Structure 1
Amino acid sequence: MRVIIAGCGRVGATLAVQLVAEGNDVRLIDRSGRARRRLPAGFPGRFHEGNGYSRTVLEAAGIEHADAFVAVTSGDNSNIVSARTAKETYRVPIVLARIYDPGRADLYRELGIPTIAGVRWTVHQIHRMLLHRHLTPELAFGNGETLLVRSQLPGYLTGRHLIECEVDGEIRVVEITRAGRSIVPAHSTLAERGDLVTFAVAATSLGRLRGFLDKELGT
């Protein structure tokens, strides 16, 4: 996945390091060249100096082939302009923006741009929305360390005990919606085709859950 991050502050730099460690192609944009110092030595991603809403800078960063754009500068105005440019001009599939003024949330919503607020859990939220967007979040606890997510079960699990989906200390099955009715599963409950399952999962284990749900029969 090619991800362009506008803003190399604490959030942008932390997110970039996490994404490149997972094998993603990351390009950072910041108006201050000194922001590069927040990146570790040997950081494999690219850094571009300039404004995140400048088309010249965006194109130099490869936005025409980007899979995602994240605006996490220190200003709401810069974030909304750059996010809107990425979404409307370059048709980037995934566009996310950090917001500082909750009063502007409706504006972002009208533009179809998901927003992330707060400080401590911003990186976790953006990371989840980028890489685990098919796991629909229902609720987050604490600072986003534990999540409730829902997903259809893959066909290969039909007839198996739902407890097989669990990992001690990481993933728990807490609810099933079956034929329009919600039930709390017992240890002996078997999965049925079409089950919509709610998982309590550690944010750091979303990749493990995704891999489990994407697993094909016999692999």
Structure 2
Amino acid sequence: MRVVIVGCGRVGATLAAQLATENHDVRVVDRQPTAERLLPTGFPGSFHVGNGFGRAVLEAAGIEHADAFVAATSTDNTNIVSARTAKETYRVPIVLAGVHDPRRADIYRDLGVPAVSSVRWAVGRIHQMLLHRHLTPELAFGNGETVLVRSELPPYLTGRPVTGFDVDGEIRVVEVTRVGRSLLPAHGLPAEPGDLVTFAVAATALGRLRGFLDKELGT
């Protein structure tokens, strides 16, 4: 996945380093050349100097072929403008942004851009949303180590006990919404077509849950 990150502060640099270790194609943009120092030695991605909403620097960073864009600068105005540019001008599929003033959250919502706040929590939250976007986050606990996610079960799981999807210490089914009604799953309750299941998941196990839900019968 190609990710363009605008802002090489604590959030941007940490997220860039984490994604790079997972072999994603990471491009970082910052108006300050010295910000590159926050990236780890041997960072395999690229660093570009310029404003996060300037078309020349964004195109040099490869935004026209980006799969995701993250606005993580220290100012909300820059984040709003750059996120809007990525979403509306370049049609980047995934656009996320950091927000420093909670009162501005409505602006992001109106733009259709998910926004997150708090440095330590934001890195984990953005990372989850980039890689596990089809698992809808409902709530996070602590610094994001545990999250609640909801997903409709794939057809191949119909008839299997819902509680059989639990993985000790990693994944636990905590609720099922069936035909519009919520219920707490009893032991042995079989899954039915259309079940919307709420999982409590360790953030480190999101990939495992995603693989389990994406698996096709017989593969």
TM over 0.5: yes
The 2-side partners of 1:180 and 1:99 are apart by 34
TM-score by length of 2: 0.95
CA distance in 2, matches of 1:108, 1:191: 37
2:124 counterpart residue number = 124
RMSD of aligned alpha carbons = 1.2
- Say how many residue pairs are matched: 219
Deviating beyond 4 angstroms after TM superposition, the runs of 4 or more aligned structure 1 residues are none
Aligned match of 1:185: 185
For 2:14 and 2:184, locate their aligned partners in 1 and report how far apart those are by CA, in whole Å: 38
2:61 aligned residue: 61
> Which blocks of at least 5 consecutive residues in structure 2 are unaligned?
none
Residue 107 (structure 1) aligned with residue 107 (structure 2): yes
Specify the alignment match of 1:210 in structure 2.
210
Residue by residue over 1:90-135, the C-alpha shift from the partner in whole angstroms, topping out at 9 and shown as x without a partner, is: 1111111111111211122212221111222001111111111111
Matched ranges for 1:1-219 at <5 A:
1-219=1-219
Q: CA contact under 8 A between 2:10 and 2:119: conserved in structure 1?
A: no
Structure 1: runs of 5+ lacking an equivalent? none
SS of alignment partner, residue 120 of structure 2: coil
Between the aligned partners of 2:107 and 2:188, the Cα distance in structure 1 is 48
Within 2, Cα distance between the matches of 1:119 and 1:40? 18
- Partner amino acid, structure 1, of 2:166: E
TM-score (norm 1): 0.95
Deviations 1:150-195 (A, max 9, x none): 1011111111122331111110001111122221112212212211
What residue identity is the alignment partner of 2:53? Y
Corresponding letter in the other structure for 1:145: E
Structure 2 residue identity aligned to 1:50: G
